[in-house]
Amino acid sequence: MPAMTANELAAFLTASPVFAGVPAREVAALAAVAREESYRTRDWVFMEGEPADWFCLVRAGRVKILRASRGGKEVVLELLGPGEPFGGVAVIERRPYPASAQATEPTVVLKIPREPIVALTERHPSVIREMALMIGRRLRAAHESVRSLAGDPVEARLAAALLRLAERDGTRGPRGITLPYHLTRQSLADMTGTTVETTIRIVSRWQKDRLVADDNGRLLLADADGLRAIAEGEPD
């Protein structure tokens, strides 16, 4: 993917709610110090505990935010797509990244150094307000995930995870709702606190039951109502 021009970088930043209220000249100044970095599938953008030196936005591809449990198992907290920022709160608070970020497919990330971001927030509190709103939405989603992990059967957790992704990122078509990225069974297992073997078994059964289908390598939710019944624990 070719690198963006300075004007394209500024337009990309302005499109983000975080920078929507920032004057054009200051957005242009951020674009001037930003840099684009490409990552292959499973490359780390940053690791949990590393110094938070960069405010990041996904330009293209997908990034998962994850932490390691006490048992060493990866737990996926969030799956982010184009235009979505990450690492910002740690940058502003000048503390290490609280989680790791990893590319789930070939990905391009726009990275802005810490100091210009910190200076910008001091001049424009709206940046912090938008970040707080963003974090609030993610915390609510995380709370739902944690509650599901604590008490729901595996199949219900998997169905709920797919429905959340479909609601946020899915594209509705005549056959159902397609997720606009390749979601591996491992990633889905990590998001729902189960094993990849269990995930493969359940998704395979759902394919036979025509609840989900493969759409050129992407997962299609062919029967969202059926998945919702599973997520809510309704009897057949």
pLDDT in tens, 79-135: 898 999 999 989 998 999 999 999 988 999 999 999 999 999 999 988 888 888 777
* Secondary-structure class of domain 6-148 per CATH: mainly beta
Q: Is 10 a residue whose pLDDT tops 60?
A: yes
- Distance between CA 227 and CA 158 in Å, rounded? 9
CA 219 → CA 69, 126, 200, 205, 208, distances in Å? 27, 37, 13, 14, 14
Three-state secondary structure readout of 136-205: HHHHHHHHHHHHHHHHCCHHHHHHHHHHHHHHHHCEEECCEEECCCCCCHHHHHHHHCCCHHHHHHHHHH
Q: Is 63 a residue whose pLDDT tops 90?
A: yes
Q: Is 8 a residue whose pLDDT tops 70?
A: yes
pLDDT at 234: 61
The SS3 call for residue 219 is: strand
| Residue limits of CATH 2.60.120.10 in the chain | 6-148
Kindly state the average pLDDT of the residues 145-167: 77
Q: How many residues does the chain have?
A: 236
| Residue limits of CATH 1.10.10.10 in the chain | 152-231
Question: How many Cα atoms within 13 Å fall on the side-chain side of residue 235?
Answer: 0
pLDDT at 70: 67
pLDDT at 216: 85
Radius of gyration of the chain measured on its C-alpha atoms: 19
Q: Is 6 a residue whose pLDDT tops 90?
A: no
pLDDT at 111: 96
pLDDT at 194: 82
The residue among 111, 124, 134, 109 whose CA lies nearest residue 26 is 124
- Distance between CA 19 and CA 120 in Å, rounded? 10
Q: Is 150 a residue whose pLDDT tops 60?
A: no
The residue among 179, 182, 157 whose CA lies nearest residue 169 is 179
Whose tokens are 């479909």? That residue is 166
pLDDT in tens, 185-206: 888 887 787 888 999 999 999 9
CATH topology of domain 152-231: Arc Repressor Mutant, subunit A (1.10.10)
Quick one: what percent of the chain has pLDDT higher than 70? 90
| Helix (H) or strand (E) run with residue 77 in it | strand 74-80
Quick one: what percent of the chain has pLDDT higher than 90? 52
- Distance between CA 40 and CA 17 in Å, rounded? 27
Kindly state the average pLDDT of the residues 155-183: 88
pLDDT at 151: 53
